[in-house]
Amino acid sequence: MSEKFDVIVIGAGPGGYVAAIRAAQLGLKTACIEKYKGKDGKLALGGTCLNVGCIPSKALLDSSYKFHEAHESFNVHGISTGEVKMDVPTMVARKDQIVKNLTGGVSALLKANGVTVFEGHGKLLAGKQVEVTGADGALQTLAAENVILASGSTPVNIPPAPVDQNIIVDSTGALDFQSVPGKLGVIGAGVIGLELGSVWARLGAEVTVIEAMDKFLPAADEQIAKEAFKVLSKQGLNILLGARVTGSEIKGEQVTVSFTNAEGEQQLTFDKLIVAVGRRPVTSDLLAADAGVDMDERGFIFVDDQCATSVPGVYAIGDVVRGAMLAHKASEEGVMVAERIAGHKTQMNYDLIPSVIYTHPEIAWVGKSEQALKAEGVEVNVGVFPFAASGRAMAANDTAGLVKVIADAKTDRVLGVHVMGPAAAELVQQGAIGMEFGTSAEDLGMMVFSHPTMSEALHEAALAVNGHAIHIANRKKR
């Protein structure tokens, strides 16, 4: 007879392991199934985010930015150094150690909360049975009252540039270069492409980003996107918009990429090429033919606003369902589903999920952009404050970018906060907290912000919405 659980979670990424922990905290007998192995060949929990996504990329971004500062900016502070060098293998080894520490931490958390971990591939069968295929091919079947599908996503490959993880790599391979490429190509000017391109550009690579779309960062506010394009281009990212890749050819240790743009057929040769055109859900072999769970033609699982699938008692969260592929979205969906299984009426506010690009300056936003609101016919007031006018930013020699607050012209309710600049991710989160409680621009303007801080830029932008900014000239007076 198969072992019975209250909850079985397939996948131990930021959605799955969080769902499992929360379910166990609520007194539910919980199992979590994961098959991913780390570089040491052992089970590695944490999914894409901890192993080959959010965390390792941030480790490389931070290391490379410290090198960039030492190489380019220390003299501004009166700091003189000798020749600054980067030991790439040491940088990558540090990244690997951070990953190992965190994935080990997830394992300890699951154990501490009483979650039973099964190593292997999980597959949903009919009747909420789950088949686990171990690394040795051995099969076992588990049963559950509730199943949560959290199998995550994987990089999209494109026929014109097949990944070999040597010369042409995906986002995973780009985390493990052992030396700085002389010339680096990046296909895709999204979050992943810009972050990985920034890492290697800071270390000295000549980076060209090839983007098929004519518009840069279309999901971001247009004013922020334009400023970001200007700043990132100045930093050395050669961003080609409206350029569609048609083919690639590896010759020796280089790859020649063919693409078309407004000027016709073009070719560029690189030492390494990163394919970063997006991610797709991992749902192949996740569901038996008679499991009853509905999917679309792209492999995404259909769910309602509470992440329930077409089968009662079966839920899906994270990258396998609609919405942005973000670790924090997946985690909160995991909490919501676990709590709903336990009988709580937890809801999730999908309108206030922050987005962040960890270039430097960071680019972040929450809520709607000015162009989206105007397209909906919403009349808005806008407040903008540049970091060039921030005393704290000047002291840190980090003045690129701006904070933008958008409010409803009739109610003054804040509808969007958009930031490009130092600590953008943290400032946008402040905006998200206020927006969750229905803050107005006036409310933000009346709050006392510590001085001197980067946060004051948010304060001033909120004041500027109604023409009350103190440290810049106002666009209008009231």
pLDDT of residue 475: 77
Residue written as token pair 């010339």: 183
pLDDT of residue 478: 44
Which active-site residues does the annotation give?
A: 451
Q: Decide if 393 contacts 402 (C-beta within 8 A).
A: no
Domains with residue ranges and CATH for the chain: 3-155+280-350 (3.50.50.60), 168-277 (3.50.50.60), 361-465 (3.30.390.30)
CA distance 10 to 15: 10
Which residues contact residue 69 at a Cβ distance below 8 angstroms, ignoring those fewer than 6 apart?
none
Closest by CA position to 299, among listed 313, 312, 286:
286
Structure tokens of 372?
């989206």
Question: What would you report as the CA-atom Rg of the chain, rounded to the nearest whole angstrom?
Answer: 24
Assign 64 to helix, strand or coil. Answer: helix
CA distance 282 to 262: 35
In this prediction, the residues of the chain whose per-residue pLDDT falls under 70 are 1, 476-478
Which residues contact residue 477 at a Cβ distance below 8 angstroms, ignoring those fewer than 6 apart?
467
The sign one gets for the Cα dihedral 289, 292, 296, 300 is negative
Q: Decide if 415 contacts 408 (C-beta within 8 A).
A: yes
Q: Decide if 30 contacts 6 (C-beta within 8 A).
A: yes
The per-residue pLDDT for range 312-352, each reduced to its tens digit, is 999 999 999 999 999 999 999 999 999 999 999 999 999 99
CA distance 100 to 337: 28
| Count of Cβ atoms closer than 10 Å to residue 164 Cβ | 12
In the Cβ-directed half-sphere of 41, how many Cα atoms lie within 13 Å? 1
pLDDT of residue 2: 74
| Count of Cβ atoms closer than 10 Å to residue 348 Cβ | 16
Measured in degrees and rounded to the nearest 5, phi and psi for residue 55 equal: -70, -55
The per-residue pLDDT for range 358-412, each reduced to its tens digit, is 999 999 999 999 999 999 999 999 999 999 999 999 999 999 999 999 999 999 9
Which residues contact residue 62 at a Cβ distance below 8 angstroms, ignoring those fewer than 6 apart?
none
CA distance 292 to 211: 38
Strand partners, 247: 258
Which residues contact residue 342 at a Cβ distance below 8 angstroms, ignoring those fewer than 6 apart?
23, 26, 27, 28
Strand partners, 140: 132
- Order of strands, sheet of 402-408, starting from the edge strand that comes earlier in the sequence: 355-357, 362-367, 414-421, 402-408, 380-386
